[in-house]
Amino acid sequence: MIKRRILRALKQNSELSTFHIDVKVNEDKVVFLNGEVDNWNQVVKIGHIAGKRRGVNGVVNDIRIKGQKIHKKDKTLLIKKGKEIGIVDESDVVIIGGGVIGCGIARELSKYKLKINLIEKQEDVSEGASKANNGMIHPGNAVYPGTLKAKLNVKGNAMYSDWARELGFGFKRTGSIILAYDKEQKKIMNLAYLAGKLNGVPNMKKLNGNEIMKMEPTIEKKPLVGLYTPTTAYVDGYDVTIALAENASMNGVKFHLGTEVVDVITSNGKVKGVITDKGIFKAKYIINCAGIYADEISEMAGDRFFTLHPRRGCIIIFDKNKTGVSRSTGIVNTSNRNKQSKGGGPQQTVEGNALWGPSATEIPNKEDKGVTREEFEYAFNSGKRVNPNITKGDVITYFSGVRAPDYKEDFIIGMSKKVDGFINVAAIQSPGLASAPAIAQMVENIILENSSSIEKNLNYNPIRKPPIEFRKLPLEKQDELIRKNPMYGHIVCRCETVTEAEIVNAIHSPIPATTIDAIKRRTRSSMGRCQGGFCGPKIVNILARELGKDVTEITLKGSNSYIINSKSR
């Protein structure tokens, strides 16, 4: 039935009907697609056609582009290496992935007497989509009612104030506005209102043009109407992730950075552990929070029922000197946008920089994080329409993040039906960041329901104190700090006023910063106008000194991203 409906839909599509696509549906109602098409957008379109059919529980999309060879990383050598090293630890839980989802779950589970190992491939937490998003804690009116993501979005949004209070990350709950300039846009705005109502978004208000201008005086043109949603909030994704990780670590979770899971060990339909390039970690539960690689991890466990298709988004950050809207203020109906995305627009970071975007482009390669001119222009125009006073001359930086959607475009959270103990927390695209507290709670419940008795961790402390930010302190406090620790008197990053002491603190923090980017995320150094031109050489020296390494070993972001090739003499 499902197969017939998919084939019919393909035949009705003039672009896709010329291709021979092999469709198989198994007893679990998972669709397997095979065949060849001309370009990547067609691969995605077909995947979506399958994913949208009622009753489909997952889409595995193996359709290829004619003539293109898929480059799959060969992990056999790493698996061999891991096996040779042997068992390095045994725990109750292994969490794969140190993004906001993995770290949120780690913290939640650290409330219990569970031994937990979190394994992260990169040299720091938050190196994936968690650091490359716009930091918006969505309210839940831009997401389809009835989906899991809608439910968790609204729930998670409400939980963020507690998270912020306990974890000490930067947080602003200033709401958001959707603008409508004509009747057509007003209709779509009303749809968002309706979706919000269905999803349980509280306190939405329809405002007239004058009321909107009062709230956001920098908007260039007065709109016809606007929808104001007060529950929208703003964070820095990496800031939340680091705070979660530090608190989890303080509560006993062990973090293994720079460690890549290359295989999952199962036996008799039950999970046994994971093989990494640094050895074997045995565990009773494996929680798959591997972001864009979650489909590969699930496949390693022997449960392949979904494929993730990377969707890249470009974000632009502007100089603090130019003030735009203080909250997300997007215009409805950007006609050239990817229908799966919310459209992007202008907003302001917690720090006060204008942030525009994101764009949304389907890409075939998970590793391709480059920014293209087209994606930049899309993100730029999404903000220019509202704040033309901010120009390209005010750009400080732009970057890309890669989302991890599946073809049903919803979250996949649950215990594997095939492998007991293997929990998928996959396909977490936007509103993933907003949903994170609710996702953590959902996974906590899965574990609790699945186990007989788990004792509470009596030493659990939910409070994590944020690091000292010298630049925010009054002069007297700054003076006091310097007397206690003279390294506070040495300003290393002059654009953001970051002291040597803060950088040293970051290096020795619970989740140690060992790369330039890791220090950037914890201190703001290199985030300013000169983008690390002044502080870069200083930070390289500080890292080498504090880590007892040679300067030639210091990297920008791990792997082979060395700053220095060699000493000249």
Partner 1 sequence: MKIINTDLAIIGGGPAGLAAALEGKKQGIKNILILERNDELGGILQQCIHDGFGLQRFKYQMSGPQYAQMFIDEIEKSDIHVKLNTMVLDINENKAIHAVNSTDGVIEINSKTIILAMGCRERTKNQVFIWGTRPSGVMTAGSLQRYMNIEGLLPGKKAVILGSGDIGLIMARRMTWEGIDVEGVYEVMSNPGGLTRNIVQCLNDYNIPLHLSTTVIEIHGNHRLKGVTVAKVDNKMNPINGTERYIECDLLALSVGLIPENELSKKANVKLSNITKGPELNESMMTSIPGIFACGNVSAVFDLADYVSETGELAARGAAKYIRNEINKESPIEIVPGKNAALVLPQKINIDNLGEQVKLYLRTRKIIEKAVVNVSLHGNLVHSQKFRIVRPPEMVITNFPSDKLKKFQNRGKLTVEIVREGD
**Residues in touch with partner 1 (CB under 8 A):** 321, 367, 369-373, 376, 392-393, 395-399, 475-476, 478-479, 482-483, 486-491, 494-495, 497, 529-531, 533-534, 536-537, 541, 551-552, 555-569
Neighbours of 75 (CB within 10 A): 18
Q: Which of 257, 316, 308, 285 minimizes the C-alpha distance to 126?
A: 257
Is residue 508 annotated as a catalytic residue, yes or no? no
Q: How far apart are CA 431 and CA 427, in angstroms?
A: 11
The single residue of 138, 256, 309, 508 carrying the catalytic annotation is 138
Cβ proximity to partner 1: between 55 and 474 the closer is 474
Cβ proximity to partner 1: between 167 and 563 the closer is 563
Q: Which alpha helices (DSSP H) does 13-144 contain, by range?
A: 40-51, 76-85, 100-109
Question: At its nearest, how many Å lie between partner 1 and the CB of residue 486?
Answer: 4
SS3 assignment, position 124: coil
Cβ proximity to partner 1: between 403 and 520 the closer is 520
Cβ proximity to partner 1: between 323 and 531 the closer is 531
Question: At its nearest, how many Å lie between partner 1 and the CB of residue 184?
Answer: 33
Residues 6+ apart with CB under 8 A from 412: 58, 294, 306, 406, 424, 425, 426, 427
Cβ proximity to partner 1: between 506 and 516 the closer is 516
CA dist list (Å): 69 to 66, 72, 364: 9, 9, 12
Question: At its nearest, how many Å lie between partner 1 and the CB of residue 488?
Answer: 8
Cβ proximity to partner 1: between 234 and 488 the closer is 488
Q: Which of 202, 210, 261 minimizes the C-alpha distance to 230?
A: 202
H-helix or E-strand spanning residue 444: helix 432-450
Q: Please check whether residue 347 is in contact with residue 329, taking contact to mean a CB–CB distance below 8 angstroms.
A: yes
Q: How far apart are CA 567 and CA 561, in angstroms?
A: 16
Q: Which of 299, 343, 338 minimizes the C-alpha distance to 176?
A: 343
Tell me the catalytic residues. 138
